[in-house]
Amino acid sequence: MLEIKVVTTLQTTSQIHRRRTRALLLTLLSAALAVSAGLFAAHSASGTTIAPGNLPSWNPNVSCQATFATVHQVIGNHFNSSTQGALESGGPFGVLNGTDESSLHPPCTAPNVNGTVNPTFVEIHGISLTGSSRVDDGALGGKCGTKYTPTNGGGPYPGGQTFCNAYGVFQDTSAYTGNCETLQDPNPKICIRLEIDRDWMAAGYCGAGTVCNNSTFDALNPTQKIDVQGFVTWHPPSSPGHGYSSWELHPLTGWRITNSSTPDLSITANPSSLSIQQGSSSASLVTIHSLGSFSGTVTLAAGTSPAIANTTTTSLNPTSVALASGGSATSTLTVQTSHSTPAGSYNLNVKATSGSLVRILTMSLVVTAPPPDFTMSASPTRMTVPIGSTGMATIALNSLYNFAGTVNLSASVAPSDTTSSLSPVDPSLSFSPANVILTANGTGSSIMSVSASLLTTPGTYTITATATSGSISHSAIVIVTVSLV
């Protein structure tokens, strides 16, 4: 079945004609756009695991439980540097394939472009149509048909009726206040397309009398905020009618006008993702918001992916906050990694609980390995060497973060008191070996010998031993007292 996406907004007739022409051209060039867009991806969201959802579906025909999320969390943090539309590489959720997006029974989990299997069914609150846009449906530009798609059997719709997809571009105005369908705003577009599938309407899953009524959906305007549930899909082309990205909730399985009278709470974090080197820590300010006149005590907890739970700690301060109606409260999330925390991308979960009300914020944690390095130490750090004798100290070297290479040892000596400063001959120094080869994460050692000749004046000397490999250099101090006997 040939489908041509025609995208319209509230514009003049000539503008609409130009818009449709541009949309058709973009459809023909979708493959090229997808390739070029990938060039702008800064890094991958691979490995980010999202906890299964715990919110019941509003649509009785959906067996999945929804994961609470924001538009920004669904589309991720990778944006095309030209259009500022979101890229596929940044989305952490599972993504329906082209067949499943029209299925009457989409999977609750699916792999994303990075190969991570995650939940596909999400719930988003408080979003609205972008700019001066509208919902396209039927005569207004929606994709229409008289038969089910092949994935649903391919048979004719009941009574030979025609049904049309209804779709529009929505945004979270708390994160983005521009117009998703123009290029005038240089900021990243926090936008997503919502689409009620025609097969769902033909099957009675959506339409009049359901939680995804397309008629009332068509009547929405940008001043109205809605809550939605649906399945995450990536559907090119990245055209103006997609908010310059291809992220969709398709099928959209339920929507409702945001009810400010229903007590609820939401969680945000700044920053919403953390990047931490092994053995380091970082913090994010978590804010709990009262919605719908909610007031009460909220208990907070945080956790990491099981893969790093034994090597990474999370803490919240405070762990409980009191919210007044319409107010907000903050807590500081601190994440501490260890040197043994594996490098990679993981999820962080912040859980807010008040009675039976539970909300979970999923954040991204990227653990990176510091540059290769090594440590150096000396033992003992103090010694006494009689005139005419030799003392020895062990220089220990340890590879860090896969450092591998040759470490060159050298040393210098400096008098530390008045008598030693008068010495005609300082103690002499040598290493055995003078060059130590370290394997990745291995260890090595050398013996530093300190000899005092008969011409060395008794006193205190400071020995600085230095280990060098390329641009990496470390030192250790040994205090030597030269005695008469």
Which of 191, 77, 84 is CA-nearest to residue 129?
Answer: 191
So what's the pLDDT on residue 394?
98
Give the N- to C-terminal CA distance of the chain in Å, as an integer: 100
So what's the pLDDT on residue 140?
57
Pairing, β 109-111 against β 117-119:
antiparallel
Share of the chain above pLDDT 90, in %: 56
Residues near 318 by beta carbon (within 8 Å), at least 6 away in sequence:
300, 331
Alpha carbons 278 and 338: distance in angstroms, whole number: 6
Name 399's bridge partners.
Answer: 374
3-state secondary structure of 431: strand
173's tokens: 């105005």
Say if CB 360 and CB 351 are below 8 A apart: yes
So what's the pLDDT on residue 251?
95
Pairing, β 459-469 against β 472-483:
antiparallel
Share of the chain above pLDDT 70, in %: 88
pLDDT at 1 over 80: no
pLDDT band at 215 (very low <50, low <70, confident <90, very high): confident
So what's the pLDDT on residue 451?
97
pLDDT band at 432 (very low <50, low <70, confident <90, very high): very high
pLDDT at 47 over 70: no
Q: Do domains 264-368 and 373-483 have the same CATH topology?
A: yes
Average pLDDT over residues 336-361: 89
Place of tokens 């103090």: 382
Spell out the long-range contacts of 259-262 with Cβ–Cβ below 8 A and sequence spacing 24 or more: 259/227, 259/292, 260/291, 260/292, 260/293, 261/292, 261/293, 262/291, 262/292
Alpha carbons 97 and 385: distance in angstroms, whole number: 76
pLDDT at 10 over 80: no
pLDDT band at 51 (very low <50, low <70, confident <90, very high): confident
pLDDT at 389 over 90: yes
DSSP state string for 338-404: -TTSPSEEEEEEEEEEETTEEEEEEEEEEEEPPPPEEEEEEE-SEEEEETT-EEEEEEEEEEETT--
So what's the pLDDT on residue 248?
94
Could you tell me how far CA 27 lies from the centroid of its own chain?
30
Q: Which phi and psi (to 5°) does residue 198 adopt? A: -65, -30
Among the ranges given (68-77, 138-147, 346-355), the one the predictor scored with the smallest mean pLDDT = 138-147
Q: Which phi and psi (to 5°) does residue 441 adopt? A: 60, 20
3-state secondary structure of 328: strand
pLDDT at 292 over 80: no
pLDDT at 390 over 80: yes
Q: pLDDT tens-digit profile of 227-270? A: 999 999 998 877 777 778 889 999 999 999 887 666 888 787 88
pLDDT at 25 over 60: no
Average pLDDT over residues 274-291: 91
Fold of the domain built from segment(s) 264-368 = Immunoglobulin-like (2.60.40)
So what's the pLDDT on residue 8?
31
Dihedral over alpha carbons 108, 112, 114, 116 (to 10 degrees): 0
Which of 152, 131, 134, 150 is CA-nearest to residue 142?
Answer: 134
Fold of the domain built from segment(s) 373-483 = Immunoglobulin-like (2.60.40)
Q: Mean pLDDT of all residues in the chain? A: 85
pLDDT at 23 over 70: no
Q: pLDDT tens-digit profile of 148-172? A: 999 999 999 998 899 999 999 999 8
Written as one letter, the residue type at 76 is G
Dihedral over alpha carbons 203, 208, 212, 218 (to 10 degrees): 120
Q: pLDDT tens-digit profile of 444-474? A: 999 999 999 999 999 999 999 999 999 999 9
Which residue ranges make up each domain of the chain? 13-257, 264-368, 373-483
pLDDT band at 134 (very low <50, low <70, confident <90, very high): confident
Among the ranges given (45-49, 206-210, 402-406), the one the predictor scored with the smallest mean pLDDT = 45-49
Cα–Cα distance list, 277 to 285, 339, 369, 373 (Å):
19, 9, 6, 13
